[in-house]
Amino acid sequence: MSKLTEKLSEQEVQFYKEQGYLLYNKPLFSEEKLQALTGLFEEQLAQKGSKLSDELDTPHFREERLLDYLLSDEVLDVVEQLIGPNIGLWSSHFICKDPFVGRKTPWHEDSSYWKGRVSNFDNIITVWLAIDDSNKENGCMQVIPGSHANGFSDYESVDGEKNLFNTQIKDVDVSKAVHFELKRGECSLHDSRIIHGADANTSPNRRCGYTMRYFATDIEIYADKNPDFKVWLARGKDLAGNKYANQ
């Protein structure tokens, strides 16, 4: 286990299993590594052209230095405690809500956008690393605890100009929502099936996070449903006959 990683308690692991999320309110990387990652993000931001800042998806496909973070012991030591020792890298995404104009993220389940691409969703996890402080004022993530156990939800259309997506889950009981307030360098972890979203950023402060997504390798990634998409074997061994970019 890396020097920075603290072993999760049995209570924390059980909480994640039952509630579908966990806040890791401690530094994930050293300040030096976090600063270097921030630099990589700023490079990606400068290269994005006309894209909005919240659209920097799979940056590790074009910037291999990000794999130093995605395949690092600091991250994998935490992930292993929640989904087991055989871990694949599914995806990553810089999500940046610019000051005043950062769009709302409608209520959704990550798994609904991956339907048909994988054999099951039992152990797909997202690590959301705060590159900036993330709080209610600048549109931090919110989740509905325990909703990962409810199956796929029904969706309706929303305005795609004002929202990051053009669909949202119907009839979400927002009174149950938990806000993920994080300091720079801290992270949250959530199950791919949990209902989550975020308000627009109406504050003067940017809200950027780096999502790092992983799967237990007994999940089959359907090659014909994932054209030009690459996954990596991050730790342990493959259990489902998947093809990995690093093998």
Locate tokens 């590594």: which residue?
A: 33
Are the C-beta atoms of residues 35 and 208 closer than 8 Å to each other? no
Task: Kindly list the domain boundaries of the chain, sorted by start residue.
Answer: 10-235
Q: Residue 101: what pLDDT?
A: 84
Summarize pLDDT for 77-129 with one digit per residue, the tens. 999 999 999 999 999 999 888 898 888 899 999 999 999 999 999 999 999 99
**Residue of 50 and 238 predicted with greater confidence:** 238
Copy the structure tokens of residue 203. Answer: 């504050």
pLDDT band at 5 (very low <50, low <70, confident <90, very high): confident
CATH of 10-235, one of 2.40.50.140, 3.60.15.10, 3.40.50.300, 2.60.120.620: 2.60.120.620
pTM reported for the whole predicted model: 0.94
Are the C-beta atoms of residues 125 and 189 closer than 8 Å to each other? yes
Other CB atoms within 10 Å distance of the CB of residue 41: 21
Are the C-beta atoms of residues 238 and 217 closer than 8 Å to each other? yes
